[in-house]
Amino acid sequence: MTVRCWGTRGSIPSPGPKTVRFGGNTTCLEVCIAEQRLIFDAGSGIRPLGRDMVERGPNAIPIFLT
């Protein structure tokens, strides 16, 4: 199992040079278990996740919103 944090910031996104170390996008987590991917939350971190998904090819992935 792997977990990738695409966004970890609180309720207001603030991506930029000052937040590059810890991230500036709001919550979006990708959990991979074998070939299955699950997405938790769809904050502004879903944008870089979406770009990554385009590179990997199409796939149906469940999104859980909290």
Q: What is the mean pLDDT for each group of 10 consecutive residues in the chain (66 residues)?
A: 92 80 88 94 94 88 93
Label each residue of 5-61 as H, E or C: EEECECCCCCCCHHHCCCCCCECEEEEEECCEEEEECCCCCHHHHHHHHHHHCCCCC
| Sign of the four-CA dihedral 22, 23, 24, 29 | negative
Check residue 22 and give its pLDDT: 76
Predicted local distance difference test score (pLDDT) of residue 36: 92
pTM exceeding 0.85: no
Instruction: Identify the CA nearest to 26 among candidates 38, 17, 39, 14.
Output: 14
Longest CA pairwise span in the chain (Å): 35
Query: What pLDDT sits at residue 40?
Result: 97
